[in-house]
Chains A and B, each alone.
Chain A
């Protein structure tokens, strides 16, 4: 069965950095584009970042709201995808979900809270 397990969330202050991770299993990770999607408390879903596969040069894409501050990366040898979040803002407070296989599968999420 497909499993996506996020980790690394927590409470940080504005302008600080945080790196969250997602461990994937149950599918051929190296063949799958991976995504991060977030959901602010009581709000809807927002796509954050995308990373493609090796044949696609690991191309990355970002929502305008995080461009220049967030970096998505992957380690195919470990079936892991990461989101490095720098210069965090209070509006980045959200549950962050890892998703794969065309958004068919989602992890349980990891909560990132940005507050002074």
Chain B
């Protein structure tokens, strides 16, 4: 199975700060990577797919980048509503696997 190593495990950001979350795959996943936001008590919401494609309705301050085994999610200008957990998901090889998650809090 492909292992997804996500970092950091937690992050505290100030209002307006730009932050990045990383996911590293144990092998090349050919940009088959998605990012999700999960707020407390809610189901995951898709933010980014195919490494850098913004899902409809997602604010443009969210962006994704990367290739091969290294991927990142950037939030350009932290907002209060961005608090939550963030997960990456590789869809390159079955079984699909998730990163362990990053808890993002507003400082």
Contact = CB atoms under 8 A, between A and B. Distances in A.
Given A61-B95, A63-B95, A106-B44, A44 B49 contact: no
Interface stretch (A17-25, A80-88, A96-104): A96-104
A51 to B, nearest CB: 13
Nearest to A6: B43
Interface in A27-64: 44-47, 50, 61, 63
Contacts, number: 39
Nearest to B95: A47
Nearest to B87: A45
The bracket for how many chain B residues form the interface is: 10 to 19
Interface in B41-69: 42-46, 49, 55
Nearest to A102: B91
B29 interface: no
A61 B94 contact: yes
A100 B28 CA distance: 24
Contacts of A47: 95-98
B21 interface: no
A109 B34 contact: no
Interface of B: 34, 42-46, 49, 55, 87, 89, 91, 94-101
Interface of A: 44-47, 50, 61, 63, 97, 102-109
Given A106-B44, A106-B45, 4 more contacts: A45-B98, A61-B94, A97-B44, A103-B91
15 contacts: A44-B100, A45-B44, A45-B87, A45-B98, A45-B101, A47-B97, A47-B98, A102-B49, A102-B91, A103-B34, A103-B96, A105-B46, A106-B43, A106-B45, A108-B43
